Amino acid sequence: MTAPERVAIGEIVRPHGVRGEVRVRPLTAHPERFLHLEEVYVEGVPRRVRAARVAAGEVILALEGCHDRDAAALLRGRLLEVDAPRVHPLPEGEYYWFQLCGLRVFTTEGRRVGRVVDVEPNPAHDLLVVEEEGARPRRFLIPAVRALVTEVDLESGRLVVRDIPGLLE
């Protein structure tokens, strides 16, 4: 798997007001990042951000080319994306899902388990979906917690997990 060219940071949920603004559900833990955006992509088309503000857990955006409620309504359900290199930097030891997908997974003993093919959100903690390689691959759900994920090396494309009884069976 290769890193994506663009990353979704929000979804337009509905128009806001009559001047073409849209309400956005952030897909990021950092909704304040919208306040500094100059440009986003909507279905691959770049749009300049004219104004942004955060309100009640959502973001209200004014986008170039969207000047009335009807135009804003046509954008409902569309994802807002940014170029992958422009994602908000995370603290040391935290990763975006797209960074983890495709990593080869090994146990602390060096046994190859498979590859991360997805990350599933979970109220307690995210789950890494790891798929074995081979004719009849199995899938494992590995909690993305420091007690189990002992190493993430993005440069070498490697993730190391502590194998506890029942985890990889």
CATH number for the domain spanning 114: value is 2.30.30.240
Residue 111 CB contacts under 8 Å (≥ 6 apart), including other chains: 163
Statement: residue 14 has pLDDT above 90: yes
For residues 118 and 98, the answer to whether their CB atoms sit within 8 Å is no
CA distance 31 to 24: 10
pLDDT at 3 (0 to 100)? 60
14: containing domain: 6-85
User: What is the per-residue pLDDT for 150?
Assistant: 96
User: Within this chain, do residues 68 and 101 fall inside the same structural domain, yes or no?
Assistant: no
Average pLDDT estimate for 19-30: 90
Torsion of the alpha carbons at 84, 90, 94 and 98, rounded to the nearest 10: -10
Instruction: Tell whether 107 and 55 lie within a shared domain.
Output: no
In a domain, 92, yes or no: no
Residue 140 has pLDDT above 70, yes or no: yes
- 63 shares its domain with 108: no
95 has pLDDT over 90: no
The reply to whether 108 and 72 lie within a common domain is: no
pLDDT computed for residue 117 by the predictor? 93
**pLDDT at 42 > cutoff 80:** yes
Check whether residue 11 and residue 47 sit in a common domain. yes
The average pLDDT across 52-79 equals: 95
Backbone angles phi, psi at 23, to 5 degrees: -90, 135
pLDDT at 85 over 90: no
In the listed set 65, 85, 105, which residue is the last one of a domain according to the structure? 85
